Structure 1
Amino acid sequence: MSKTASRARTVQLLEFELGSETYAVDIAHVAEIVDVNDLTVVPNAPRHVEGVMDLRGKTTTIVDPKSVFGIDNDGARQRIVVFDQDHTIGGKAVGWIVDEVEQVVEVDREDVEPSPVDDDAVHGVIKREGEFVIWVRPTVLDA
């Protein structure tokens, strides 16, 4: 099998922590990862919008995926995963505040089980070493 065919069967995922669980997004959707800085609260914003921050001259909306996914809000909230604007709703500058970024892993698409819930946010589930990693789609959260 050629390297190209092998790559087509695999996908690189960025793993991150939300509470006590591990989640992942396709690395192709990620523009950069930054430390949490001062956020400006936006009055009357949806409850999942933490605020906005200036990131290299762009006003970037920071979303808390925990509030959208119903995850307990314990955790360090140390990093922001900023998404490529080509992969966000309306091409907006959006980042997710996460507890910690773990690693980039290469996953065989055959090892991804379909989502157990009828929800566009969950792409699938990866079972690894007795634990589960939830592969989510960042495009479902509108800022």
Structure 2
Amino acid sequence: MEAQETDPTASDAPGDDEEALPVEAHDVETRQVVEFRLGEDYCAVDIDEVDGIVEIKKVTRIPRTPDPIDGVMDLRGETTAIIDPREFLGVEGEAPDTDDQNVLVLDRADDKQKIGIRVDEVLEVATYAEDRIDTDDDISNLETRGIEERVSRGIIRKPQAEDEVEGDALDLVVWVDIDAVIDQLK
């Protein structure tokens, strides 16, 4: 690496006409996602795909529908289909009581009716730099059902809070491809 020449008269503090961050930091592409929990797994979807987050209400089961379709519920006078993504993402264990769950209502222009996905808990809306997201090429060696079924866009490498662990430990968040999940239902 080449050493850079510095002006000894220049100050390290940003002035009125200088940026506080390096130029490269401003050029970093980011992705904003809604993070949620399914069992012990952490997942995320693009925030642009979410119309709202609601508490789950009474879901009416519809006969002869695939198992991942829980049924329908009335949401502000509109029939909303509720799906459980656990099967597609390989989440083990039973879902908690419906009183403890939320629904991410999706915003998809092509749908003839509203669709919601059942999640155990909505955690946060977060923004990640693209370099924190490993896409298909980078995750081919991971053996998860979501990757094998191609319902994942990738894995987000989320740094853990400093008070949780020492070192550079990461949480892995499955970045879910909602279109692929819904296509599996057809």
1:133 aligns with 2:173: yes
How many residues matched?
139
Residue pair 1:85, 1:92 contacting (<8 A) in 2 also:
no
- Give 2:152's aligned residue: 122
- State the distance in 1 between where 2:94 and 2:124 align: 21
1:26 aligns with 2:51: no
Unaligned ranges ≥5, structure 2: 1-22, 140-146, 161-169
1:4-39 Cα offsets, whole Å, 9 max, x none, are 955xx1111000001101000000000000001000
1:10 aligns with 2:20: no
SS at match of 1:127: strand
SS at match of 1:141: helix
Considering Cα pairs closer than 8 Å and 6+ residues apart, tell me whether 1 or 2 has the greater RCO: 1
Residue pair 1:16, 1:100 contacting (<8 A) in 2 also:
yes
- State the distance in 1 between where 2:180 and 2:113 align: 13
TM-score by length of 1: 0.86
Question: Which has more radius of gyration?
Answer: 2
User: Which residue identity does 1:99 align to in structure 2?
Assistant: D
Higher-strand-fraction structure = 1
After TM superposition, the structure 1 stretch with the greater mean CA deviation from structure 2, 117-126 or 38-47, is 117-126
1:99 aligns with 2:120: yes
User: Which residue identity does 1:73 align to in structure 2?
Assistant: G
Cα displacement (A) at 1:91: 4.3
Cα displacement (A) at 1:119: 4.2
TM-score by length of 2: 0.67
Q: Do the aligned partners of residues 136 and 112 (structure 1) sit closer, same or farther apart at CA in structure 2, a change above 3 Å counting?
A: same
Sequence identity of aligned pairs in percent?
31
Runs of 4+ in 1 over 6 A off after TM superposition: none
SS at match of 1:68: helix
SS at match of 2:61: coil
What is the RMSD of the two structures over their aligned residues, measured on CA atoms?
Answer: 2.2
Residue pair 1:66, 1:73 contacting (<8 A) in 2 also:
no
